């Protein structure tokens, strides 16, 4: 999943970006509040990690304006401001989670996955449609209980469709989910990944909606 990281400390930002990428996130990193506000409006991120002490514009103001403009993506505030009034204000103006630095990267990844899952109306840790089950924490996929190896891009595309079960995703939406800044998008990448997923997981899992995009239907667990 693609997230926005807003952090002005170069050393910390570089470490967070590298660590989150190792956990399977596509990360766009900005270093000031104006850039954070601009990117939040421009890109359909799955979530944002927002520092508060940003240059050019405070993170609290960025968050408050984003909520006033109707942006609903999950926002995790990651900050050194540990006073209770700061935590209360951050949550009241629209943060979905408030974490004080330093944070363990594995915990940060788990918090982000939980926020995104709930934002998509998925209460369970694992995502399931029929015989296909996805474990986002381990980035593994099972068919009838048997693990099926997928490439990184195949898994990311499947995860996006499973998070949005019952909703059609266009090719552009899927590309935005799969690729962060500076990553070249091949012209037929989505179609190729869908073909491979159907071959590995079953032809009926991913439905093509002509002229619109792709969808995974809501199907109960296989008997």
pLDDT of residue 223: 44
- Report the CATH fold assignment for 2-119: Rossmann fold (3.40.50)
Nearest residue to 49 (alpha-carbon basis) of 118, 106, 2, 87? 2
pLDDT at 221: 62
According to the CATH classification, is domain 127-216 in 3.40.718.10? no
Per-residue pLDDT of the chain (223 residues), as tens digits, is 899 999 999 999 999 999 999 998 989 999 999 999 999 998 889 999 999 999 999 999 999 999 999 999 999 999 999 999 999 999 999 999 999 999 999 999 999 999 998 998 887 888 999 899 999 989 999 999 999 999 988 999 999 999 999 899 998 888 887 776 555 556 688 899 999 999 999 999 999 998 899 999 877 665 4
Task: Delimit the CATH 1.10.10.10 region(s) of the chain.
Answer: 127-216
Cβ pair 190, 154 in contact under 8 A: no
Copy the structure tokens of residue 214: 């792709």
Global pTM? 0.83
Q: At what angle do helices 33-42 and 59-68 cross, to 10 degrees?
A: 20
| Comma-separated ranges of CATH 3.40.50.2300 domains in the chain | 2-119
Residue 66, CA distances (Å) to 93, 146, 197 in order = 10, 43, 36
């Amino acid at each position: 999943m693609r997230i926005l990281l807003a952090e002005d400390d170069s050393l910390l930002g570089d470490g967070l970006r590298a660590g989150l990428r190792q956990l399977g996130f596509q990360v766009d990193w900005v270093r000031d509040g104006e850039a954070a506000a601009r990117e939040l409006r421009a890109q359909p991120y799955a979530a944002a990690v927002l520092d508060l002490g940003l240059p050019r514009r405070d993170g609290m103001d960025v968050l408050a304006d984003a909520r006033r403009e109707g942006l609903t993506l999950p926002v995790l505030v990651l900050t050194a401001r540990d006073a209770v009034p700061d935590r209360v204000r951050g949550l009241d103006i629209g943060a979905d989670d408030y974490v004080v630095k330093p944070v363990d990267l594995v915990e940060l990844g788990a918090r982000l996955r939980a926020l995104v899952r709930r934002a998509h109306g998925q209460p369970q840790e694992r995502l399931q449609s029929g015989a296909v089950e996805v474990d986002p924490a381990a980035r593994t996929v099972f068919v009838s209980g048997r693990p099926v190896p997928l490439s990184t891009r195949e898994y990311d595309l499947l995860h996006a469709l499973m998070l949005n079960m019952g909703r059609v995703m266009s090719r552009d939406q899927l590309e935005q989910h799969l690729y962060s800044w500076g990553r070249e998008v091949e012209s037929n990448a989505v179609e190729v990944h869908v073909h491979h997923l159907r071959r590995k997981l079953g032809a009926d899992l991913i439905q093509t909606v002509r002229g619109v995009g792709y969808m995974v239907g809501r199907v109960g667990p296989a008997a």
